[in-house]
Amino acid sequence: MNSFELNKIAGAVLAGALTVVAINEFANIAVSPTIPETNAYAIDTGAEESTGTAAVAEEQGPSLAVLMASADPAAGEKIFKKCASCHSVEEGGPNKIGPNLYGILNASKGHLDSFSYSSALLEKGGNWDYEALNAFLTKPKDYIKGTKMSFAGIKKDGQRADLIAYLRTLGKTDVPLPTE
Ligand code: HEC
């Protein structure tokens, strides 16, 4: 094979590639696709249009009072394994990456002087009541932007309730369960 033949082959390949590009361009112009605003086929995303507050309440599931009434502290103790690498729970226990959590229910946010909290947590203020714990443990960084607790959160309402029921057993005072 001499170089002239090689050139012919290269030329043929190039011409072929150009033809493909040209056909593509032409097809685009000829067909000029328009993208419809709505899907041709309805996709069920599970989202329903709400028809007032009753529907909204239903979507949110049972209230915290209802969840806490049937929560199981023993199940919560198992879930607490996710927290135990950073938190001790016994009275006077050491702070680890996070503060000791003895008596945390209804304690003030940043309840230990011996732990160096983020300013975000301290500025949030208020107490760790049921609502606050529930909100924080759902997604810590949503409830307190800038918290240094690196934990994604617990998605399941029932699991959070079990966990809070367990936290409730830690401490001297018996905090009454929440009511509606
Ligand atoms: C990776 C370590 C880590 C894990 C895991 C973790 N935490 Fe924390 N937690 C922290 C840190 C750090 C703080 C202090 C946050 C701040 O100052 O912003 C904290 C703060 C808290 C506070 C506030 C305490 C106070 O004195 O105000 C509570 C309540 C809490 N954690 C509960 C939990 C629970 C329950 C779990 C398990 C579901 C958990 N944490 C998992 C590190 C962790």
Residue percentage of the chain with pLDDT more than 90: 63
What tokens were used for 159?
Answer: 């699991």
Reported as a single tens digit per residue, the pLDDT across 89-106 is: 999 999 999 999 999 999
CA distance 63 to 164: 14
Ligand 1 centroid from CA 60, angstroms: 25
> According to the model, what pLDDT value does residue 43 have?
67
| 76, 162 contact by CB (below 8 A) | yes
Which of 34-38, 151-155, 165-169 is predicted least confidently?
A: 34-38
Pick the CATH number of 63-169 from 1.10.630.10, 1.10.760.10, 3.30.450.20, 3.40.50.10470: 1.10.760.10
Residue 39's identity, in one-letter code, is N
| 95, 112 contact by CB (below 8 A) | yes
> According to the model, what pLDDT value does residue 16 have?
78
Ligand 1 centroid from CA 90, angstroms: 15
What tokens were used for 59?
Answer: 């979507």
Residues pairing with 95 in the sheet: 87
User: Domain locations in the chain?
Assistant: 63-169
Reported as a single tens digit per residue, the pLDDT across 18-70 is: 777 777 777 777 776 676 676 676 766 665 555 555 555 556 789 999 999 99
- Mean pLDDT of all residues in the chain? 88
Cite the DSSP H helix spans in the chain: 3-31, 53-60, 64-69, 73-79, 81-84, 119-124, 130-138, 140-143, 157-169
Nearest atom, ligand 1, residue 85 CA: 5
Higher pLDDT, 17 or 86: 86
| 122, 109 contact by CB (below 8 A) | yes
Residue closest via CA to ligand 1's atom 25 equals 110
CA–centroid distance for 95 within its chain: 26
Ligand 1 centroid from CA 180, angstroms: 27
> According to the model, what pLDDT value does residue 12 have?
83
> According to the model, what pLDDT value does residue 109 have?
98
> According to the model, what pLDDT value does residue 110 have?
98
- Residue 140: band (very low, low, confident or very high) from pLDDT cuts 50, 70, 90: very high
The DSSP string of 78-130 is HHTHHHHTTB--STTPPB-SS---TT-TTPBTT--TTS---HHHHHH-SB--H
The pTM of the full predicted model, rounded to 2 decimals, is 0.74
Q: Which of 80, 82, 86, 175 to mutate to test the pocket of ligand 1 (most atoms within 8 A of CB)?
A: 86
> According to the model, what pLDDT value does residue 30 have?
75
